[in-house]
């Protein structure tokens, strides 16, 4: 019996090429353990199914013979295997070594470096300041606002929504002594866990201050709920984008408490509330105590997106923004938003649990966390938008403000 081939990693991104001159399937590593991007030609895409941890090299050769119609396929077999292995895309020692090295490198870094400068936004401070001054402007100094929810989608997809949220923040004078608690979606984090880091965030504007005292308080009270120096911070955009906007409004050394919220999978699929899990309850209780004690010394920013619909997200639906089935999706989005704005945490979470969150709101956990730790707030929808992320897929998001 031939030895089984290693399994293709489950946590990779697979995106069909949109370039006619380069057809095939792009594979990349969203965790950046590997910086490689592979383009698998259309005829070989089916052969990837042989890398399932059960089939052998003999099965791969037989599949390649079927695909190519050629008897001699050893060169193709070797090239495909070596390309996947060298890129760190297989569940084997090569991948585990790359993963361990990258996580150790992040843990030792003194700062959390900007991961998306130069791609999602300009990497030069002058260009970035000019862009944000045009697109966002200045905070309007609305004193009644204690929290906002803003997208974490690519800024180019959502400038008006970001603007609607961030113009509701306090004036620079009122914000001088604030700590901004940033609750971000953890797209890659463990369920029922919260990612913390003591590192300052670095952007083209400079370095933030990170509130170590509050981080240490959370880590001491709820260690089982926390991933300290969570590697997900290194690759996550949901907090980085908010940091850039806050620095634009208040200067580079804005004080932050960055928290990545992993999904509440247990509650969504098994019922009950997120805090029915003991370590989640301890974390939420501690964060709630901090919120009550610090009061208006804190301002809360949620980096969230809403529905993810269409082929990119595993649906049979070919989604078109604001048309067809996406009209019904907007109605369901707004039903959830109505519960949020009313401060009805249970009503909101019941809608998330319905269909096991078939809307795929990647902001569901930060929103529930916020509503649990700061009960009694009322929300207001400032802007709702559906973004056509590709010809067959749509992401929805909104800007909200919260006040007592």
Domain of 239, CATH number, reads 3.40.830.10
Above 80 in pLDDT, residue 254? Answer: yes
Phi and psi at residue 377, in whole multiples of 5°?
-80, 150
**Residue 159 belongs to a domain:** yes
At residue 108 the predicted structure's pLDDT band, cuts being 50, 70 and 90, is very high
Q: Say whether 338 sits in a helix, a strand or coil.
A: helix
Domain assignment of residue 262, yes or no: yes
**Cα Rg of the chain (Å, integer):** 23
Is the residue at 4 inside a domain?
no
Same-domain pairing of 161 and 76: no
Its pTM stands at: 0.91
Listed residues 84, 103, 122: the one ending a domain: 103
Domain co-membership, 142 together with 224:
yes
Task: Check whether 35 has a pLDDT greater than 70.
Answer: yes
Q: Are residues 79 and 173 in the same domain?
A: no
d(CA 229, CA 189): 12
Both 153 and 97 in one domain: the answer is no
Mean pLDDT, rounded, for 8-21: 90
**Alpha helices per DSSP H over 57-186:** 57-68, 74-86, 93-108, 125-135, 159-166
Overall average pLDDT of the 202-210 stretch: 97
**Residue 235, phi then psi, degrees to nearest 5:** -120, 0
Task: Let me know if residue 8 belongs to a domain.
Answer: no
**Phi first, then psi: what are they for 150, rounded to 5°?**
-130, 160
**327/371 same-domain check:** yes
For residue 99, pLDDT over 90 is answered with yes
Do residues 70 and 129 both lie within one domain? no
Torsion of CA 217, 222, 225, 230, to 10 degrees: 30
**Stretch 345-369: mean pLDDT:** 97
How many domains does the chain contain in total?
2
Statement to judge: residues 116 and 50 lie in one domain: no
Where among 103, 133, 158 does a domain terminate? 103
Domain-terminating residue out of 103, 123, 148: 103
In a domain, 341, yes or no: yes
Same domain, 85 and 137: no
pLDDT at 2 over 80: no
- Flag whether 6 is in a domain: no
Q: Range of 88's domain?
A: 13-103
Q: 98 with 242, same domain?
A: no
Task: Answer whether residue 241 is part of any domain.
Answer: yes
- pLDDT value at residue 143: 86
In a domain, 23, yes or no: yes
Residues 77 and 186 in one domain: no
At a CB cut-off of 8 Å and minimum separation 6, what does 134 contact?
none
**Which residues is 184 bridged to in the sheet?**
260, 303
pLDDT tens readout for residues 125-170: 999 999 999 999 999 988 899 999 999 999 999 999 999 999 999 9
Residue 361: predicted pLDDT: 98
Same domain? For 98 and 153 the reply is no
What rounded mean pLDDT belongs to the chain? 96
Model confidence over 302-331: pLDDT tens digits?
A: 999 999 999 989 899 899 999 999 999 999
- Asked whether residue 99 falls in the same domain as residue 157, the answer is no
């Amino acid at each position: 019996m031939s030895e089984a081939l290693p399994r293709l990693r489950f946590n990779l991104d697979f995106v069909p090429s949109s370039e006619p001159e380069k057809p095939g399937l792009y594979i990349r590593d969203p965790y950046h353990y590997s910086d490689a991007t592979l383009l698998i030609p259309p005829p070989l895409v089916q052969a990837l199914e042989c890398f399932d941890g059960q089939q052998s090299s003999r099965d791969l050769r037989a599949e390649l013979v079927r695909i190519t119609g050629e008897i001699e396929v050893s060169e193709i077999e070797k090239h495909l295997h070596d390309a996947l292995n060298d890129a760190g895309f297989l569940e084997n020692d090569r991948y585990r070594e790359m993963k361990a090295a990258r996580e150790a490198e992040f843990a030792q870094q003194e700062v959390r470096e900007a991961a998306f400068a130069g791609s999602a936004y300009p990497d030069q401070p002058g260009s970035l300041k000019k862009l944000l001054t045009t697109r966002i402007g200045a905070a309007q100094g609305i004193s009644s606002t204690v929290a906002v929810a803003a997208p974490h989608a690519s800024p180019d997809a959502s400038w008006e929504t970001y603007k609607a949220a961030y113009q509701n923040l306090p004036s620079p004078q009122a914000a001088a002594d604030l700590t901004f608690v940033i609750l971000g979606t953890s797209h890659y984090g463990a369920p029922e866990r919260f990612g913390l880091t003591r590192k300052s965030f670095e952007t083209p504007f400079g370095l933030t201050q990170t509130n170590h005292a509050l981080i240490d308080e959370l880590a001491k009270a709820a260690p089982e709920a926390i991933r300290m120096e969570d590697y997900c911070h290194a690759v996550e955009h949901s907090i980085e984008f908010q940091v850039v906007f806050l620095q634009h409004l208040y200067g580079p050394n804005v004080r932050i408490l960055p928290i990545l919220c992993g999904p509440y999978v247990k509650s969504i699929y098994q019922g009950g509330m997120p805090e029915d899990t003991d370590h989640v309850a301890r974390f939420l209780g501690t964060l709630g105590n901090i919120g009550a004690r610090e009061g208006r010394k804190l301002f809360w920013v949620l980096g969230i997106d809403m529905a993810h619909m269409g082929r990119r997200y595993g649906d049979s639906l070919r989604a078109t923004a604001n048309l067809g089935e996406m009209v019904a999706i907007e109605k369901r989005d707004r039903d959830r938003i109505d519960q949020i704005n009313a401060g009805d945490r249970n009503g909101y979470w019941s809608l998330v649990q319905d269909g096991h969150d078939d809307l795929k709101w990647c902001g569901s956990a930060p929103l529930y966390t916020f509503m649990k730790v700061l009960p009694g707030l009322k929300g207001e929808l400032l802007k709702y938008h559906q973004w056509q992320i590709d010809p067959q897929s749509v992401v929805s998001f909104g800007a909200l403000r919260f006040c007592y």
